[in-house]
Amino acid sequence: MAKKKSSSGKAARRRVRKKKGVIGTRRKKEFAYRGYPMEDLEKMSLDEILDLLPARARRSYKRGLNEEQQAFLDRLRKTDEEIIKTHRREIVILPEFVGRKIAVHNGKEFIQVAIKPEMIGHYLGEFALTRKSVTHSGPGVGATRSSKYMPLK
């Protein structure tokens, strides 16, 4: 039978220090949308940003926004409100939205959405789900043969 090598405490501590050193060197990757960092995106004009967006989002802005969508954008740009409520789920998130909180209506209530850089190019409605997942409870009375038995007391 082969004898199992027991590692000394010193060797174990050395391995832990080595692991910590590797983890400590990793750093969080800076966000970039299509190769442009957030600082550059904030400096760009709307036309330059639209060129970076996916085709569907780009076309919705190029065709022009309707009155309600334009009113929402104006309110977002002008006000310093903490949370802005809207029913406009079809608006594409632009870099100027980042850091704001928008309450998006899902058909029943307003869902608060904190806009992050990773959301650029997506629609507001994607983050306020309209359907809940079904959660079933246990079986009710009459669901099984055993539930028919009712003790007489």
Q: Is residue 14 part of a domain?
A: no
Confidence of residue 84 (pLDDT cuts 50, 70, 90): very high
Question: Does a structural domain hold residue 26?
Answer: no
Q: Does the pLDDT value for residue 93 go beyond 80?
A: yes
Number of domains in the chain: 1
Q: Rounded to an integer, what distance in angstroms lies between the CA atom of residue 96 and that of residue 84?
A: 14
Q: Which of 126, 67, 120 is nearest to 96 (CA)?
A: 120
Q: Would 24 be classed as within a structural domain?
A: no
Is residue 41 situated within a structural domain? yes
79-108 average pLDDT score: 93
pLDDT digits (tens, 9 = 90+) for 11-65: 888 887 777 665 555 566 788 898 899 999 999 998 999 999 999 999 998 999 8
36 found inside a domain: yes
Percent of the chain with pLDDT over 70: 81
Residue 99 lies inside a defined structural domain of this protein: yes
d(CA 42, CA 75): 18
Cβ 60 vs Cβ 89: under 8 Å = no
Task: Determine the pLDDT at residue 3.
Answer: 56
pLDDT, tens digit (0-9, with 9 covering 90-100), for 70-80: 999 999 999 88
Confidence of residue 1 (pLDDT cuts 50, 70, 90): low
Query: Does residue 83 belong to any structural domain of this protein?
Result: yes
pLDDT value for 26: 59
Strand pairing of 110-114 and 101-105? antiparallel
Decide: pTM greater than 0.75. no
Better-predicted residue by pLDDT, 77 or 5? 77
- What sections of 26-112 are H helices per DSSP? 38-43, 46-52, 55-62, 67-78
Residue 133 lies in a domain: no
CATH number at residue 94: 3.30.860.10
Domain that holds residue 63: 32-127
Q: How far, in Å, CA of 8 to CA of 122, rounded?
A: 54
